[in-house]
Amino acid sequence: MTVGSDAQLMIGAQLRGELVDSENPAFDAQRRIWNGSVDKHPALIIRCAGVADVMAAVKFARVTGLPVAVRSGGHSFSGLSVADNAVVIDLSLMKGVSIDPGTRIARVQAGVLLGELDRETQAFGLAVPSGIVSHTGVAGLTLGGGIGWIMRKHGLSVDQLISVDLVTAEGEFVRASAGENAELFWGVRGGGGNFGIVTEFAFRCVALGTQVLGGPLIWPMQQSAEVLRFYRDWIAEAPDDLMTLVIHRKAPDLPFIPEDLRGQPVVIVVCCWVGDIDEGETVIRPLREFGHPVVDHCQPTSYLAHQALFDPSFPHGRWYYYKSCDVAELTDEIIDITAEHSVQFASPLTSFPIWQRGGAVSRIGEDATAFTGRHAGFTFNIGACTAGREGFDAERAWVRDFWSALEPWHQGVYVNFLADEGADRVVQAYGTAKWARLQSLKRTWDPDNFFRLNQNIAPN
């Protein structure tokens, strides 16, 4: 289906941004998102330059009756930010960021990526908690919650959110904060893009400084079960200044990896210590001394470099597939299943993180925000990656098998790590009590389910 040319002319004339349809030479590049396995052909892409464009785009899309996809950073795992025959409302041109170092408030437009936000906040030694790959969008990440390197000390992205500017399903502008549309503000802190299009976020920045103690320690994957058992005991009492990820993969081709190790299966513990560096060295020492790591690249580094550490491992255009679950603790059974499945994937590009949770995130009430899962112990984000179609199906089957083997211990799932897994999984992500509150909010702000290409909270 195409949008009528008159309608297209009408919206095109109103825009400060850009209209991209299939006739436009830029269409092929613009319809692509981060996950190369997503290959959709929308009817039209409306690249908004500001709030007025977003309001016009929503009103236009209502008239066409076509489904609407919303794109900011384009990192939806399952590709929800583009769809066949849809109108894509694309915010990626909206790059404004301003930091007030006096009030420590960051105002961030929806098209800003994590690395762009970090660049501005770090000029003042400040930070907004966000995620671990710098080309992810602030918008989608924040609307789902936002977990990352400094969350155990400073909470989720939503825990530092002060307000959002939002365009409703009717194309109207509203602001939501603790004092204004408070229930909507509760909902956007975890409820995703269900209630409207956020055009701008205001965050409190935290005083972080510009240095962290961080980086990977690496052991051969044959030692996975021992490393995981030691790791579990070592981090049991870890201070909030420490956040870790455990990664199983084949060693990447990076300068700090010895040549003979590249391509070999390894288990990696990546640390990020945000407190006093000497104190961090003392806390991390037992891990360094465990079982002779083949690489120790954990060192004082800039926060900006640490935030971009994983960028080379997750470039745009590769084929990715993820399934995720939270677990309460790393039991012996979970460790043994992890060790067993980790030696079974084939792709040299596959790498999957186990996230340490807890800390500041868990000290905020479960009902304080729509984000659910504050008491998770660990998050498994089992992911497969291939260069293209070749080998993808086998790798995806590996993800599903591994995820199913962990099923007896599943505790919940972080909504931003959901793939296209059906309506029941979205309910599971929020739990039934919160679901009723979210549905009620959806009925208030989007009774027709205009915003439904998302992890959908259907109004009824």
Ligand X SMILES: Cc1cc2nc3c(=O)[nH]c(=O)nc-3n(C[C@H](O)[C@H](O)[C@H](O)COP(=O)(O)OP(=O)(O)OC[C@H]3O[C@@H](n4cnc5c(N)ncnc54)[C@H](O)[C@@H]3O)c2cc1C
Footprint on this chain of ligand X (rule: CB under 6 A): 33-34, 70-77, 80-81, 91, 110, 131-133, 136-137, 139-141, 143-148, 192-193, 197-198, 314, 416, 454
188 exposure class (CB count in 10 Å sphere: 0-12, 13-18, 19+): buried
Residue 76 CB, shortest distance to ligand X, in Å, is 3
Residues 6+ positions from 185 with CB-CB distance below 8 Å? 163, 164, 176, 177, 178
Cα distance between residue 295 and residue 272, in whole Å: 16
Residue 90 CB, shortest distance to ligand X, in Å, is 8
Q: Which is nearer to ligand X, 146 or 391 (CB)?
A: 146
Q: Which is nearer to ligand X, 314 or 402 (CB)?
A: 314
Residue 403 CB, shortest distance to ligand X, in Å, is 17
Residue of minimal Cβ distance to ligand X? 140
Q: How many residues in total does the chain contain?
A: 460
Residue 289 CB, shortest distance to ligand X, in Å, is 29
Residue 86 CB, shortest distance to ligand X, in Å, is 11
Q: Which is nearer to ligand X, 33 or 127 (CB)?
A: 33
Please count the helices (runs of H) and the strands (runs of E) in the chain. 14, 19
Cα distance between residue 440 and residue 458, in whole Å: 10
CA dihedral 138, 135, 40, 349 (to 10 degrees): -130
Cα-flanking dihedrals φ and ψ of residue 36, to 5°? Answer: -65, -15
Q: Which is nearer to ligand X, 131 or 187 (CB)?
A: 131
Q: Which is nearer to ligand X, 139 or 227 (CB)?
A: 139
Q: Which is nearer to ligand X, 147 or 269 (CB)?
A: 147
Instruction: Return the amino acid letter for 264.
Output: Q
Q: Which is nearer to ligand X, 140 or 377 (CB)?
A: 140
Residue 174 CB, shortest distance to ligand X, in Å, is 13
Residue 105 CB, shortest distance to ligand X, in Å, is 19
Largest CA distance in the chain: 69
Q: How many CB atoms are located within 10 Å of the residue 12 CB?
A: 16
Q: Which residue bears the tokens 């930091």?
A: 99
